[in-house]
Chain A
Amino acid sequence: MFALKLLDRLEEALIGLLMAVATVVIFASVVLRFLSSVPHVQDVAIRLSMTWAQELCIFLFVWMAKFGAAYGVRAGVHVGVDVLINRLAPRPRKIVVMIGLLGGVVFTAVVGTLGAILVWEIGQTDQTSEDMEVPMWIVYLCVPLGSYLMCFRFLQVVASFVRTGQVPHRHLAPIEQPQPVGEQTTGSPSEARSAKQGPA
């Protein structure tokens, strides 16, 4: 149990951190570009030039996407079409939902394995990335790791679905806000928090 809790926290910390680092990196590279046309500081700025920032940002976000997708299974943020299953009687509904979940298990397991093969093959070569020259197999490692983790999360959801008949469905709320201060807002934002949310 403790190990699982630890895994949960690590996963959350990792994706939050990747998001933060990517933001800071791109912001810093923009600031540096500005400074490199300002007299006096431009020499330093040019020497620090962050041409690798874009590449790093892409890698950070791809890693975030793979592990965040696994977190998303646990948190229930992946959007799906639930128009049909909501109209089914409980028994057929259970079967259809189960098929859907198993589809997730199969897909992530297959992709994880394909990714592992890919990483192994690239590990035999000495491919490196263009700007930062990191070995590509390390970069691609997120595909098998993330997919297997996601597969594990799907299995967890299957287990809890069998036990409780519930699937996680936290539609992330856009509002993560403390009670607004001042102003006569009577409506509690926590209501909106339970509302469905999507990326649109």
Chain B
Amino acid sequence: MNAALIFGLLIALMLTGMPVSISLGLTVLTYLFTMTQVPIESVALKLFTGIENFGIMAIPFFILAGTLLTQGGVARRMIHFATTMVGHLYGGLALAGIIACALFAAISGSSVATVAAIGSIILPEMVQRGFPKRFAAGVITTSGALGILVPPSIVMVLFAVSTNTSVGKLFAAGVAPGLVLALLLGFTTWLIARRRGLPRLPRASWHERWQALREASWGLALIVIVIGGIYSGVFTPTEAAACAAVYSFIVVVFVYGDLNLRQVPRALLDAAAMSSMLLYIITNAVLFSFLMTSENIPQGMADWLTAQGLGPISFLLVVNVLLLVAGNVMEPSSIVLIMAPILLPVATRLGIDPVHFGVLMMVNMEVGLCHPPVGLNLYVASGITKMGITELTVAVLPWLLTMLGFLLLVTYWPGLSLFVPRLLRL
């Protein structure tokens, strides 16, 4: 009953187009004010203490690093390196785009940044080399979604902090599924390209490949710094993110010269605005899940679901449908912050590993990013290619279907997600 009231209010407020953060906060205030005796002053304190957590602070740092890295130089060299490796296959440039997206995803925590960085360079080039525009846009829009699956990932940090899961474990869990998804997307691309006889580039020599690798090494080193740094225990994810931001600053400003010092304040402001928006949602989501727990709603739901005799298999199916539907109206960070603390207690009761559940949510969010009406990747790609959203929706279909198939794979094969964390003994 209470749950229906709370969710009804939340949904009603959100549908007015009010920011998600405000809707969450207002729901909590209204409920506490009218239905309970909880001292409302504690709300203001929660608004501060809700994000008083060093783990959360990885998010602004990763966003800053991402804002700096989207400046072109790093992405362009990664694309060049990937092109020398696979350019000679059918649809070579498209395959290179997928590899470049995967590489860029390994240094940036955001899939939108990945689409923007790789897409704005490779899409015009693909069209110039005779790839159909639709095909090009479809590949890049979907492979950009690797950004939130391949570590580091901002959405994974959000999942980790809202459910008390280890960020390190989640990051490790994203590696294998990320590689498999990249392979599957590549396979779909190759099949279509071969059937349609899309252009191949001349095979690059090993010397050229080596050269390209050396040029790309400034960006690739960041993978070693972030991932290597976290797993060797040199630093925490948050410290890794701060170092990544400083390193990106040095590479972008002094090594590649993509930005001059006068443009840095602008980048700082953009990153700060984006981070504040997220931190503001987090604060209010913390408030919201505080209300949920104090009303025992996750427990109630778990009891109800187990009473219905819902096993893990059907539960995961329901979760997937629920998340896919939510992906139609909200963007990933809001979904994760609202849903994860509610769904995870049920999942763990059914014996589902939290880390596996996290990866499943990430893949789900990726699907949501690639279809309308709120798929941000689509909007970025549409900005770059000047294609309409409707046309792009058709364009991404083959890869979107691949992703849905992959979602099933991830859902019902926990080993895929859990194998790397186990290997690393996390």
Contacts and interface: CB of A to CB of B under 8 A. Distances in A.
Q: Do A and B bind?
A: yes
Interface of A: 12, 15-20, 22-24, 26-27, 29-30, 54, 57-58, 61-62, 64-69, 71-72, 75, 77-85, 96-97, 99-101, 103-104, 106-108, 110-111, 114-115, 117-118, 121, 139-140, 142-143, 171-178, 180, 183-187, 189, 191-200
Contacts, number: 299
A135 B72 CA distance: 44
B239 interface: yes
Contact of B19 (A78, A83, A193): A78
Given A68-B276, A185-B124, A115 B44 contact: yes
B278 A85 contact: no
Nearest to B240: A30
- Which 6 pairs from chain A and chain B are nearest by CB? A68-B276, A195-B383, A78-B19, A196-B379, A65-B279, A100-B16
B20 to A, nearest CB: 6
Given A114-B41, A185-B124, A200-B112, A192 B275 contact: no
A111 B25 CA distance: 9
Contacts of A17: 268
Contacts of B271: 19
Nearest to B336: A200
Contacts of B246: 23-24, 27
B298 interface: no
A58 B53 contact: yes
Nearest to A194: B383
Given A68-B275, A177-B258, A194-B383, A26 B121 contact: no
Interface of B: 13-23, 25-26, 29, 40-41, 43-45, 47-48, 51-54, 57, 60-61, 63-64, 66-67, 70-72, 76, 110-113, 116-117, 119-121, 123-125, 128, 147-148, 154-155, 235, 238-239, 242-243, 245-246, 258-260, 263, 265-281, 283, 328-334, 365, 369, 373-374, 376, 379-380, 382-386
B242 to A, nearest CB: 4
B397 to A, nearest CB: 21
B18 A80 contact: yes
A27 B64 CA distance: 13
Contacts of A12: 269
Contact of B331 (A27, A101, A187, A199): A199
B370 to A, nearest CB: 11
Nearest to B333: A199
B127 to A, nearest CB: 8
